[in-house]
Structure 1
Amino acid sequence: MTKGDRIAAAALGLVGAPFRLHGRSAETGVDCVGLALLCARRAGHAGAAPEHYGLRGGDAALFAGWLRAAGLRPVRKGKAGDFVLVRAGPAQAHMMVAVPGGHVHAHAGLRRVVEMPGASPWPVIGLWRAGR
């Protein structure tokens, strides 16, 4: 099983976890960054996420810096287990995890982690992959 396969499996295993802004725990809640961090850690990736961040403002270079600092690398073509950075609204970035047939993400409105079939409904800013 590849690291990407393990990340996708971890994401699917977190479906239903509660949403909590800046959350890092499946039990008490995660936001989109916390979800990505938990999935990466459960797959054996040692990268760290920023502690103090805001996903508003639209600074793609800032987001890219955080993702590189977390040990991720940009890729052109996505696959299951990749991290998908999207523009969920005006000046609003959001992180999802690609899984077979769709994505998993922390949905603030539904207050839980959900699986979403198909392609992203939001414009994709970039695709990022954890090392081998």
Structure 2
Amino acid sequence: MSDEGPCAVTRARSLVGVRFRPQGRDPATGLDCVGLILRVFGIPPEQVRRDYSLSGNSAAELDAQLLRYFQRLSNEASRVGDVVLCAVRGGQLHLAVDCGRSFVHADARARRVVETPGAPQWPILGMYRFALCNLQSS
């Protein structure tokens, strides 16, 4: 398993200000929360379906996709650089990078990638740590 938390935070912060675009995979044209995670962790975008749903009824499917590249953690075992899976308004699912005292995410309301102080205010459904060996064997 990779211990690259601080590097993931640096990469996430480098994307702050990139415009938001649903199903976006390229910082030049925009990112959504999935695209942000792909960029931060160097996962090739073509390895992840574009026709996904981030509605609450797809939590198991999103979890399965995350487990291709990440290890699921208990909330207590999380640390800087881990991925947070949240349930935002109306059961919508959302991904963010834990930066310790803040988190980076693609904010649809702000129409850009932002760093928000504190912890996510939404219910946390899962925490995930990047597993480099999973990427190399994909």
The two structures have a TM-score, normalised by structure 2, of 0.85
User: Where in structure 2 are the equivalents of 1:109-124 lying within 5 Å?
Assistant: 109-124=109-124
Identity, % of aligned pairs? 36
Task: State the superposition RMSD in angstroms.
Answer: 1.8
How many residues matched?
A: 128
Q: Aligned with 2:56: secondary structure?
A: coil
Corresponding position of 1:5: 6
Superposed, 1:1-132 pairs within 5 Å as 2-41=3-42, 48-69=47-68, 71-76=69-74, 77-131=77-131
More helix by share: 2
Alpha-carbon displacement from aligned partner over 1:23-53 (angstroms, at most 9, x marks no partner): 1111110000000000001xxx569433220
Q: Which is further off, 85-94 or 54-63?
A: 54-63
Once the two structures are overlaid, the 10-residue window that deviates more, 48-57 or 81-90, is 48-57
Cα distance in 1 for partners of 2:63, 2:50 equals 15
Q: Give the number of the structure whose residues are more often strand, by fraction.
A: 1
CA 1:46 to 1:30, structure 2 compared with 1: closer, same or farther past 3 Å? closer
- Quick one: which amino acid aligns to residue 129 of structure 2? R
| 3-state SS of paired residue (1:74) | strand
Q: TM-score, normalised by structure 1?
A: 0.89
The runs of 5 or more residues in structure 2 that have no matched partner are 133-138
Q: 1:35-72 CA distances to partner (integer Å, 9 max, x unpaired)? A: 0000001xxx5694332201013332111111112x11
